[in-house]
């Protein structure tokens, strides 16, 4: 996304979906609304998804009009005006010259079709379901169903929110988009929703995730995080589903006996229910061998992926597992889990291990770290696997869902 809200903020005339159809006739351009509220500030997976999807749509679509919402029901970020959007007349930031409090009040009291600008399709990219729509067709992206498949990995508040939204998906959505065949199977198993209206559309690494050729820039990023040794890398929000404790236990001896000694670097925002992770570091006496970097922007992630000896992602469950494909695009050897979507994403380019098997994970780490030839082979395989995924293809398939939702009305 290239321009910010402060550059492009405007109030646009509101026309109903039916009026838009009358103006254009036939197979006419659509007016499509997309929730980009999670792209602001420190983006996690759903924010990256919304951001990259919009970029992909801008690259492949020359026909339709897009209204982008930097705020959405239950998500009103105080820095919403910093949202970035494509430099294209087809894409408009749907905002008004009002305070955030006034926007919040309008979005929670006015009719839903009115506040979203009379769109034909409304795409909720992060679970949240709006009030009933009379004109627009609702498309909801459901990244995963961990609140049902692994409820113990969520706080009660988060699980209650997800359950409430899931009930609304079933009643209001025209289509559900999910990110893998594994996640699609879970939706069909746990939710009462027509099979033909659940579509799996995989993600991809962003174009900037390629092996960095600027070694000076890589060294500066590493030095800024006090990384001066070879390292094992993990990227993801620090929360129970990511299985960091198993990773720590598998790494404990490997980090010490590697010649020279290695670090374990964990990059990602602090999530929830993670106090045991820090306690495990102390219990294993790994304080000198582990680096918690916190949230890291994409430009620095590229350097971290490029320089890592191996990227390890032992997640218990993923709807897709975006860090895996990002690491592969940067040429990192990858070890990940045998569960959920991860075999779909990693293919035969990664070493796959059961996520709770400490011994198997330790063995995989030793296999990669102890063999230069193995790492070279895996780096090449990673690049080939990443090239199978494209955000433009993701955008084309998503656009087809928008069109089907409207054409079937």
Domains of the chain, by residue range, sit at: 3-204+391-407, 215-386
Three-state DSSP class for residue 163? helix
Half-sphere exposure of 196 (CA within 13 A, CB side): 3
Residue 302's H or E segment, with its range, is helix 298-307
C-alpha 174/C-alpha 163 separation (Å) is: 18
Say which CATH class 3-204+391-407 falls into: alpha beta
Of the chain, the percentage scoring pLDDT greater than 90 comes to 61
pLDDT at 68: 95
C-alpha 296/C-alpha 7 separation (Å) is: 26
Place of tokens 């033909």: 196
DSSP 209-247: -S----HHHHHHHHHHTT--S-EEEEES-BSGGG-HHHH
Pairing of strands 3-4, 84-85: antiparallel
Question: How sure is the predictor about 356, in pLDDT bands with cuts at 50, 70 and 90?
Answer: very high
Phi and psi at residue 241, to the nearest 5°: -60, -30
Phi and psi at residue 192, to the nearest 5°: -90, 90
C-alpha 406/C-alpha 33 separation (Å) is: 13
Q: How many CB atoms lie within 10 A of CB 267?
A: 21
pLDDT at 271: 64
C-alpha 300/C-alpha 359 separation (Å) is: 31
CB 76 within 8 A of CB 104: yes
Say which CATH class 215-386 falls into: alpha beta
C-alpha 325/C-alpha 340 separation (Å) is: 15
Question: How sure is the predictor about 301, in pLDDT bands with cuts at 50, 70 and 90?
Answer: very high
Per-residue pLDDT reduced to its tens digit, 75-121: 777 778 778 889 999 999 987 677 888 888 888 889 999 999 999 99
pTM of the model: 0.87
Per-residue pLDDT reduced to its tens digit, 239-276: 888 899 999 999 998 887 776 779 999 998 876 677 78
pLDDT at 283: 87
pLDDT at 73: 84
Per-residue pLDDT reduced to its tens digit, 303-313: 999 999 999 99
Phi and psi at residue 149, to the nearest 5°: -80, -30
Is the pLDDT at 174 greater than 60? The verdict is yes
Averaged pLDDT, 138-151: 91
C-alpha 275/C-alpha 174 separation (Å) is: 40
Per-residue pLDDT reduced to its tens digit, 188-203: 999 989 999 999 999 9
- Of how many residues is the chain composed? 409
Residue 255 region, left (φ>0) first, then alpha (ψ -120 to 50), else beta?
alpha
Place of tokens 């990773």: 247
Place of tokens 């919040």: 104
Give every CB contact of residue 360 below 8 A, 6+ residues apart in sequence: 353, 354
Q: Which two tokens stand for residue 222?
A: 């590493």
Smallest Cα–Cα separation from 50: which of 117, 123, 116? 123
C-alpha 320/C-alpha 300 separation (Å) is: 22
* Cis-peptide into 260, omega within 30 deg: yes
C-alpha 270/C-alpha 238 separation (Å) is: 5
Averaged pLDDT, 338-354: 97
C-alpha 157/C-alpha 148 separation (Å) is: 14
Averaged pLDDT, 386-394: 97
pLDDT at 228: 87
Smallest Cα–Cα separation from 47: which of 1, 97, 95? 1
Q: Which residue(s) pair with 336 in the sheet?
A: 313, 352
Q: How many CB atoms lie within 10 A of CB 62?
A: 9
| Range from 135-149, 265-279, 333-347 carrying the lowest mean pLDDT | 265-279
- Helix, strand, coil percent values for the chain (each to nearest 5): 45, 15, 40
Give every CB contact of residue 49 below 8 A, 6+ residues apart in sequence: 125, 126, 141, 143, 179, 203, 322
C-alpha 230/C-alpha 98 separation (Å) is: 51
C-alpha 85/C-alpha 114 separation (Å) is: 22
CA angle centred on 272, ends 268 and 275, rounded to 5°: 90
Three-state DSSP class for residue 185? helix
Establish whether domains 3-204+391-407 and 215-386 are of one fold.
yes
Is the pLDDT at 21 greater than 50? The verdict is no
């Amino acid at each position: 996304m290239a321009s910010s809200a402060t550059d492009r903020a405007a109030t646009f005339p509101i026309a109903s979906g039916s009026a838009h159809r009358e103006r254009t006739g036939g197979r006419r351009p659509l007016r499509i609304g997309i929730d980009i509220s999670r792209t602001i500030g420190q983006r996690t997976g759903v924010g990256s998804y919304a951001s990259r999807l919009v970029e992909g749509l801008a690259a492949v679509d020359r026909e339709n009009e897009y209204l982008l919402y930097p705020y959405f029901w239950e998500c009103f970020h105080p820095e919403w005006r910093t949202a970035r959007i494509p430099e294209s007349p087809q894409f408009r930031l749907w905002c008004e010259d009002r305070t955030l409090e006034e926007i919040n009040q309008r979005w929670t009291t006015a009719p839903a079709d009115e506040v979203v600008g009379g769109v034909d399709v409304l795409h909720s990219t992060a679970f949240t379901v709006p009030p009933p729509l009379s004109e627009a067709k609702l498309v909801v992206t459901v990244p995963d169903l961990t609140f049902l498949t692994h409820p113990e990995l969520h706080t009660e508040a988060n699980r209650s929110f997800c359950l409430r939204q899931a009930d609304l998906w079933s009643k209001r959505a025209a289509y559900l988009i999910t990110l893998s065949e594994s996640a699609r199977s879970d939706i069909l198993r746990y939710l009462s929703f027509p099979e033909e209206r659940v579509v799996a559309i995989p993600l991809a690494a962003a174009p900037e995730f390629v092996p960095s050729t600027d070694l000076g820039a890589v060294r500066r990023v590493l030095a800024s995080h006090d990384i001066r040794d070879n390292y094992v890398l993990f990227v993801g929000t620090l929360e129970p589903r990511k299985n960091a404790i198993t990773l720590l236990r598998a790494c404990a001896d490997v980090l010490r006996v590697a010649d020279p000694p290695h670090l374990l670097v964990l990059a990602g925002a602090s999530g929830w229910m993670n106090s045991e992770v820090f306690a495990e570091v102390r219990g294993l006496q790994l304080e000198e061998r582990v680096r918690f970097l916190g949230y890291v922007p994409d430009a620095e992630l590229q350097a971290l992926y490029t320089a890592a000896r191996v990227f390890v992602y032992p997640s218990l469950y993923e709807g897709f597992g975006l860090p895996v494909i990002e690491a592969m695009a940067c040429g990192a050897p990858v070890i990940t889990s045998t569960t959920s979507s991860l075999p779909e994403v990693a293919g035969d380019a990664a070493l796959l291990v059961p996520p709770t098997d400490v011994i198997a994970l330790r063995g995989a780490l030793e296999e990669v770290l102890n063999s230069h030839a193995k790492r070279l082979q895996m780096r090449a395989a990673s690049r080939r696997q990443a090239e199978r995924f494209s955000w433009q293809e993701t955008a084309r398939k998503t656009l087809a869902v928008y069109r089907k939702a409207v054409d079937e009305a």
